[in-house]
Chains A and B, each alone.
Chain A
Amino acid sequence: MINIKQSITKLWLETKQRWFPSKENNAVPLDQISRFYQTDFYQSLDESLKSAFYDGPLGGLDSRVLARKDVDFLSQSFSLWQHGRNLSCAIYGEKGTGLSTLLNIFIHQLKQQNQAYKLLTLEKRLTDEQDVIDTLAKAMGLTEGTYKLDDFIQALSELPSCVIALDNLHFLVQRTLGAQAVIDCLGAIILATRGHHFWLLGAEEQTWRRLCYGYRFENLISHQHHIANFTDSEMRDLLIKRFAYAGFHTINDIATDTLHSEKSPINDIAKRSKGCVELGFFYCLNNLTYGTKPQSLLIMPAQEIDMGPLKKLNKIELFTLAEISTHGQLSVKEHAALFRMSTNESKMTLEHLRVLGIVDQGDEFHNRDTYSLKLIISAVVIRYLISMNYLY
């Protein structure tokens, strides 16, 4: 009887493996991704490869920068404002799509035109009306702590006209009492001065959605622009250019000049990375071996990421990830207040997510108490949360 049961179980498992092969056996564990950059394998790679596959733009090499459609939007909006249109502007996109890079490129253009500008990168959550005024006053070179809202608007209007670029808008998001007052204050300042100053705001997509759904933020901004994710072909071109930049011109015995076909090994990586540059870089470096010919590489087929740990998370952990994605980052104290739990319980929840390799903890230079989504898998995690109806 036992033999029959064992035989049936074995037959079932073999049939299941034959028709529904488990991807997770061959998948890359989430925590391995975070450890990759500390592995001996990564350290043994050529310096040229490591420097080519870093998470910044390669000057004019990347097609996305060369396409300039996002920069053009900013230039056109700015031009309209210069010609008397009372407008303000916001750009938003998924984490890692080059939001800050785009702002810097635009600022660089302004410098070349000798146009006055102030780039304000928020570094902490704004807690109340006075905090908003003081932060903006400091950035604009005004005295902190001396203004109320009306005085500050007056003072701002008397300053020479300039571009005010506000980055890291996720520090405006908070699910605490008084959050509305922060948004109302900033909104009043933007609306009252947008004829005089050109306001340019940058936010991650989930942050922007939260600001719009929760606080009707879109009413403050006349021109919005969504920075699209990298398409498969854009990603493929970017990766090929990075290999060429590192001095490797032959991949899987194919010259990089002819790698742009649909069947190239890079194309598989481009598809799997789903628009996330960091993930594409990881796949490239994790799957390569040096070829026998000089300056040649062999790229193995990319493996799936093991999403098993995500599927095992409980309700609070999934909500935690959703809130981290909209808040940009959460400290233990913020998490405890948001989820109405003790700080120890919050610490445990966040640490569990960190151990699983889903979130990163701030380092000693960037607030060790905060946790943010691991950049390399943030796009994958956000898509999972949307499909599970924890994000919208």
Chain B
Amino acid sequence: MDKNIYQQFVELFSYTTLASIVGTLIITWLILVGIRWAINTLVNYKPKYRIQLAQTFPVIRILLWFAAISYIVIGIIQPPQSVIYASLGSLGLAIGLASQDAAKNLVAGIMMAVSPRFKVGDMVKVGEHYGEVISLDLSTTKLHTFDDDIITVPNADILKMPISNSNNGELNEMVAVDLHLPVSIPIAKLKSIALDAAKCSYYVYLKKPIVATVFPIFQDDFYYHLKIKAYVLDVRFEKSMATDIAERVIEALQENDLFDGSLFANTQTPKDPLEIRPSI
């Protein structure tokens, strides 16, 4: 019986069948290359919609490969039922034993395409890595960090980890700028300068509100923790905006003789006195 199935299996793969399979795979790949080119062209033409456009590709890719494989099996090979069952069993066993992690990543990739936790173009924090999602492949996700590194994370790991998504499909995102300043500065003046400085930054998306809060904190000595929350026009300008606002606040305080630049001159410097980080 087993020999019979083996013979049936071998007979299915004539040269014509093999050529058709290879042809189908090449055509599918070419279609995907074409779609990716079209999406990239559209993104260059309308950068404002780059996140919406980019998120379509992972789904299209899965659907196309699924369609191609289905066509190869049902349309080209046309195996008898017994061969299908035997092949599926063997394939399952082989995949299960030989490539547990790869299969996990693949399944995770499909799950992420069906129910996305983030999209291409989103700014996400995965583990200790923070950056823009530049590609969502079937088995891995690639992040582009602000240090210009490309981080590749297996999809199975992403499903296990908590993910913080800063913009969730929108181009603008909230950025928090934290500054630690001496308590000698009047709070009302500090807040006023902080709000004004944020509005002065050309990276700020003014359609959404800007908030400034001041908290007194004690760490060896008292100091103020100024937090400015503003939306950046485009996630790619996140660091530029945060730096710009921080510099404008410090310059304005110096111009008003409220701050001489010697941060915590008489105290122990708290950890990370000028902290700029995205709001999560």
Instruction: Please indicate whether A and B come from the same complex rather than being unrelated chains.
Output: yes
Smallest CB-CB separation from B251: which chain A residue? A340
Contact pick for A388, options B48, B197, B199, B207, CB 8 Å: B48
Binds B, one of A40-48, A139-147, A174-182, A256-264: A174-182
B33-54 CB mask vs A (1 if < 8 Å, else 0) is 0000000000001111000000
Smallest CB-CB separation from A316: which chain B residue? B202
Contact pick for A389, options B45, B200, B201, B233, CB 8 Å: B233
B158-209 contacts to A (CB < 8 Å): 171, 193, 195-197, 199-202, 205-207
Bound complex: CA A323 to CA B193 (Å): 21
Q: Are A210 and B206 also in contact (CB < 8 A) when A338-B200, A388-B47 are?
A: yes
Ordered by A's residue number, 13 sampled pairs between the chains whose C-beta atoms are within 8 Å are A175-B202, A177-B252, A178-B196, A179-B199, A319-B202, A322-B202, A338-B202, A340-B247, A387-B45, A389-B47, A389-B171, A389-B233, A390-B233
A58-101 contacts to B (CB < 8 Å): none
Check A214 for interface membership: any CB of B closer than 8 A. Answer: yes
B226-254 CB mask vs A (1 if < 8 Å, else 0) is 00000001100000000010011000100
Residues of A within 8 A of B248 (CB): 340
Name, among A213, A319, A322, A389, the residue most crowded by chain B CB atoms within 10 Å (CB to CB): A389
Bound complex: CA A387 to CA B47 (Å): 7
A350-392 contacts to B (CB < 8 Å): 386-390, 392
Smallest CB-CB separation from B50: which chain A residue? A389
A194-234 contacts to B (CB < 8 Å): 210, 213-214
Is there an interface contact between B206 and A214, defined as CB atoms closer than 8 Å? yes
Smallest CB-CB separation from B192: which chain A residue? A180
Is there an interface contact between A213 and B206, defined as CB atoms closer than 8 Å? yes
Contact pick for B207, options A338, A387, A392, CB 8 Å: A392
Is there an interface contact between A387 and B48, defined as CB atoms closer than 8 Å? yes
A-B contacts besides A180-B195, A323-B202, 5 pairs, CB < 8 Å: A177-B193, A177-B197, A179-B196, A213-B206, A339-B202
Q: Please count how many residues in chain A sit with their CB below 8 Å of the partner chain's CB atoms.
A: 21
Residues of A within 8 A of B196 (CB): 177-180
Is there an interface contact between A392 and B200, defined as CB atoms closer than 8 Å? no
Q: Are A386 and B48 also in contact (CB < 8 A) when A177-B252, A210-B206 are?
A: yes
Bound complex: CA A127 to CA B2 (Å): 91
Residues of B within 8 A of A323 (CB): 202
Separation in Å of the B230 CB from the closest CB of chain A?
12
Bound complex: CA A339 to CA B197 (Å): 12
Smallest CB-CB separation from B199: which chain A residue? A214
Name, among A175, A176, A180, the residue most crowded by chain B CB atoms within 10 Å (CB to CB): A175
Separation in Å of the A143 CB from the closest CB of chain B?
31
Separation in Å of the B247 CB from the closest CB of chain A?
7
Smallest CB-CB separation from A389: which chain B residue? B48
Per DSSP, chain B at the interface is helix
Is there an interface contact between A177 and B200, defined as CB atoms closer than 8 Å? yes
Is there an interface contact between A180 and B233, defined as CB atoms closer than 8 Å? no
Is there an interface contact between B171 and A175, defined as CB atoms closer than 8 Å? no
Contact pick for B244, options A340, A388, A392, CB 8 Å: A340
Smallest CB-CB separation from B202: which chain A residue? A319
Residues of B within 8 A of A214 (CB): 199, 206
Is there an interface contact between A387 and B202, defined as CB atoms closer than 8 Å? no
Smallest CB-CB separation from A177: which chain B residue? B196
Contact pick for B200, options A175, A210, A319, A322, CB 8 Å: A175
Bound complex: CA A322 to CA B202 (Å): 9
Residues of A within 8 A of B197 (CB): 177
Separation in Å of the B141 CB from the closest CB of chain A?
24
Separation in Å of the B30 CB from the closest CB of chain A?
16
Contact pick for A392, options B193, B195, B202, B233, CB 8 Å: B233
Residues of A within 8 A of B247 (CB): 340
Separation in Å of the B185 CB from the closest CB of chain A?
15
Residues of A within 8 A of B207 (CB): 213, 392
Q: Are A180 and B199 also in contact (CB < 8 A) when A389-B48, A389-B233, A392-B205 are?
A: yes
Residues of A within 8 A of B199 (CB): 175, 179-180, 214
Separation in Å of the B15 CB from the closest CB of chain A?
29
A152-181 contacts to B (CB < 8 Å): 175-180
Residues of B within 8 A of A177 (CB): 193, 196-197, 200, 252
Separation in Å of the B41 CB from the closest CB of chain A?
10
Residues of B within 8 A of A176 (CB): 200
Separation in Å of the A19 CB from the closest CB of chain B?
13
Separation in Å of the B229 CB from the closest CB of chain A?
16
Bound complex: CA A213 to CA B233 (Å): 13
Smallest CB-CB separation from B171: which chain A residue? A389
B204-228 contacts to A (CB < 8 Å): 205-207
Q: Are A387 and B200 also in contact (CB < 8 A) when A177-B193, A392-B207, A392-B233 are?
A: no
Separation in Å of the B201 CB from the closest CB of chain A?
8
Residues of A within 8 A of B202 (CB): 175, 319, 322-323, 338-339
Bound complex: CA A50 to CA B132 (Å): 54
